[in-house]
Structure 1
Amino acid sequence: MVKMILFSHPTLNENAKALIDGLLRNKILYKIYTCVAIFEGQLLDKLSKHSKLNDLKRRRLDSTWQLLTKSKSFFEFGRLLASKFHVQFLVKHEKGFFCIDKVYQKHDKWIANNLIGEQKKGATAVYAYEDGALATFIKAKKIGMNCIYDLPIGYWRSARLLMQKEFDLNPEWAETLTGFNDSYKKLSNKDHELALADIIFVASTFTKKTLETYPGNLPEIKVIPYGFPEVRQKKIYEPLANRKLKVLFIGGLSQRKGLSYLFEAVEGMRNAVELTIVGQKSVDNCSALNNALEKHQWIPSLSHDQVLDCMKQHDVLVFPSLFEGFGLVITEAMSQGVPVITTNRTAGPDLIRDGVDGWIVKPGSAIAIKRVITKIIERPELLEILGTAAQKKAQTRPWSVYGQEMTDALSSLKIL
């Protein structure tokens, strides 16, 4: 029987779209289920051109997908509107009527309710993501469909083991560690999803390693890193003489990202380093975070195109995350010719050769970050050497390669 995969993802991010492209090219995609799907010429497509509705552009899909796409958008639209107008009680973690948890749960149950009919029409397997797979997988198991699971971030038990140390080491940053707010039910559901999976896909070796703390048997875990954005132009490297080194961080402003160590690393180097922080606060009332931001340039939000432009204007990206499933900013910066300093708790080791096209440093070490920054200041030619190598690496692995590798892996599965 030809393998036909029903693909489920509430928001269809970049990696999900690349996988869909691969499945379509290889003719093993049955149907796409998502929340908001916008196609050229539709009313929502026209509305997305309004400056206040720019966020809708991210939901535009290829017109060739239209006949294969099913969408149900009420809860996701509610979440987007509540977030935009800062109606916080509606999107409160796990409790709000339009919270992201509710969006995923409703989407999951919708697919589960349609599985029997879709199986009769030709679907043989379902591909779903963490927090949005439980009801779907339970129904799939009952009717004999295969369950393909995608874990985009590290396993929660490992997260708690690793991040608990931060509560002791940096208590003033502890309130930014909002991942500890998940309920027992939500965490139990994550474990149940894993238990039902026939195969698990992850995007980094680190994510696979975090699953070693799972208290049971797991199926095969396949590591396939995401792709790089298109390389459109070569970066022009400005001499470092008579100016400061432009250091950039992009990501959520949480201690999970290792932020305190970055701030500590540059604290005594402000005469030689200019630090820009791009990202939204995880909480508003963390004094340590607020005090640190006052000392540097802080940009709360940028569009994706603006992020890439911002990267081009900087010398090096520092992404010192303490727990990361992948870290798309790594591939984005490398595609722009910007070398990256990151840790081995990201996809860094899967993408970067230390000292060749970027740097891998010890997690939770301001000294390690400062050591690399100092090396760059002493040898500014490293920016062009490693940045050029990073951009060449990006050219070898565009998103289409990720899509094809995923499709090849899915096509060869014995479970299907």
Structure 2
Amino acid sequence: MKVIVSHPQGNRNVRAIISAFDKRQQLAEFDTTIAVDEQSVWLQLLPATLRTELLRRTFPLNPGMITSHPLREIGRMVFPRIGLKSITRHEEGWACVDQVYRDLDRRVAGRLADLVKKQNINAVYAYEDGAMKTFSAAKKLGLACIYDLPIAYWETGRKLMMEEAERLPKWAVTLGGGVKDSAEKLDRKVKEMELADIIIAPGSFVSDSIPAWAKDKEVVISPFGSPLLQGENKNQTSSPQGKLRVLFVGSMGQRKGLGDLIEAIRLLDTNMVELVVMGSLLAPLEFYKEELPGLIYEPGRSHDGVLELMRSCDVFCLPSIVEGRALVMQEAMSQQVPLIITKNTGGSDLIIEGKTGFLVPIQSPESIADKIQWFVDNREAIPEMGRKAQKHAATYTWENYSTRVVESINNYLEKI
């Protein structure tokens, strides 16, 4: 069996998949936008922020197995830095995220017939928003189509996001593309799902969102892996005299429930809790400061820096409304930080209630406030909960994630 995998950026989960196929000598090719050699001298000539971003585009493969299509992605990275933001406007800009995905999709589809002639290819593996053309071409060639759905299917996501725009209109500006997607983009998502033979989901929230008409397709649920423990363990005591530090990491919008978390802090009305937020701003910083004057905003930093920040906090809270499976939850657990999350984060299996953290309902600042107050009242329990969280997170490995996905695909293809 041979498979072609495509993804514009190559996130951690993508790396795990291509590595697993490669180890089994089943990877025909990996198509992406940018792939760099971390030893390249020219990287040292770039500004530090751009260099750091490009260094994320290294892959654990022989360079001959990678085909790059970099032009639009370079535009997406560079043009906003020089003030040309219109070029990356949602769906419309030449170098917007949607056009980056679609361009890669078209290019992979255009090469498939020639690749099949050269190699014994059985399947293509593509991700939401970047699969329609590839899958259409694959069907004509008799190839299986593997569809990785990293976040809840659009119908579920859109319904919940529209509810949020009505429930918290002040936060609607932070909902982003989820409520602005065009009919054409949504139609592409439907066609991708229709063409898929196998659907890969990172958790039950995503798999449950698959529409009824697609439920008879092969669905593989495999949770992401956790990072290995890095740096030092947290201090083993949580001082009852200091403020309880509640951490939120992620894009700073209501899709991730930040409005509910801020309202929960306001409901507590205590100087014993401080909210620390790190992530991309979806509104001016003043907007968040008006909502919660005491909010502590932390700018982005290296991955090691993020883990260090996590170790300085007592509790991690992510009350997401729509998610796939937020890796940041397992990162926090790996640093001995217990959780307060919703099931819509995709991480309900991470919670052993009262042991590794707590589950709360979506759209419920009162429930969030109640659990934060529990931590305030039970500071002595936090170190042990942190250790249990770390131990539980360690049971989720990238090896297990990729092995389950790849073996399920192999088993499916053997049956057809």
Give the aligned residue type for 1:274. Answer: E
**What corresponds to 1:297 in structure 2?**
296
CA contact (8 A) 1:252 1:281 kept: yes
**What corresponds to 1:190 in structure 2?**
189
2:111 to 114, 136, 150: 114
1:52 to 1:171, Cα distance in 2 relative to 1, 3 A:
closer
CA contact (8 A) 1:45 1:60 kept: no
Give the aligned residue type for 1:263. Answer: I
CA deviation after TM superposition for structure 1 residue 350, in Å: 2.6
CA deviation after TM superposition for structure 1 residue 95, in Å: 0.8
1:34 to 1:43, Cα distance in 2 relative to 1, 3 A:
farther
The separation in 1 between residues aligned to 2:396 and 2:46, in whole angstroms, is: 31
1:299 to 1:234, Cα distance in 2 relative to 1, 3 A:
closer
**What corresponds to 2:361 in structure 1?**
362
1:125 aligns with 2:123: yes
**What corresponds to 2:96 in structure 1?**
99
1:23 to 1:52, Cα distance in 2 relative to 1, 3 A:
closer
CA contact (8 A) 1:26 1:407 kept: no
The separation in 2 between residues aligned to 1:103 and 1:43, in whole angstroms, is: 27
Give the aligned residue type for 1:75. Answer: R
Q: How many residues align?
A: 411
The separation in 1 between residues aligned to 2:6 and 2:192, in whole angstroms, is: 14
CA deviation after TM superposition for structure 1 residue 375, in Å: 1.1
TM-score with structure 2 setting the length = 0.94
The separation in 1 between residues aligned to 2:347 and 2:86, in whole angstroms, is: 37
The separation in 2 between residues aligned to 1:333 and 1:387, in whole angstroms, is: 9
**What corresponds to 1:327 in structure 2?**
326
Output one character per residue of 1:16-45: Cα deviation in whole Å (capped at 9) or x when no partner.
001112112222211111110012433454
Give the aligned residue type for 1:153. Answer: I
Give the aligned residue type for 1:37. Answer: A
**What corresponds to 2:14 in structure 1?**
16
Describe how 1:157-168 pairs up with structure 2 within 5 A. 157-168=155-166
* Structure 1 gap segments, 5+ residues each: none
SS of equivalent residue, structure 1 residue 108: helix
Output one character per residue of 1:46-69: Cα deviation in whole Å (capped at 9) or x when no partner.
44684552211111223x431211
CA contact (8 A) 1:361 1:368 kept: yes
The separation in 2 between residues aligned to 1:311 and 1:263, in whole angstroms, is: 19
SS of equivalent residue, structure 2 residue 170: helix
SS of equivalent residue, structure 1 residue 252: coil
Describe how 1:340-355 pairs up with structure 2 within 5 A. 340-355=339-354
1:75 aligns with 2:40: no
TM-score with structure 1 setting the length = 0.94
Alignment RMSD: 1.9
SS of equivalent residue, structure 1 residue 396: coil
1:187 to 1:52, Cα distance in 2 relative to 1, 3 A:
closer
The separation in 2 between residues aligned to 1:46 and 1:124, in whole angstroms, is: 40
CA deviation after TM superposition for structure 1 residue 329, in Å: 0.9
The separation in 2 between residues aligned to 1:337 and 1:201, in whole angstroms, is: 29
**What corresponds to 1:152 in structure 2?**
150
Describe how 1:2-401 pairs up with structure 2 within 5 A. 3-47=1-45, 50=48, 53-62=51-60, 64-120=61-117, 121-178=119-176, 179-212=178-211, 219-232=217-230, 233-267=232-266, 268-284=268-284, 289-292=288-291, 294-401=293-400
1:270 to 1:296, Cα distance in 2 relative to 1, 3 A:
farther
The separation in 2 between residues aligned to 1:316 and 1:393, in whole angstroms, is: 16
SS of equivalent residue, structure 2 residue 209: helix
CA deviation after TM superposition for structure 1 residue 342, in Å: 0.3
Give the aligned residue type for 1:275. Answer: L
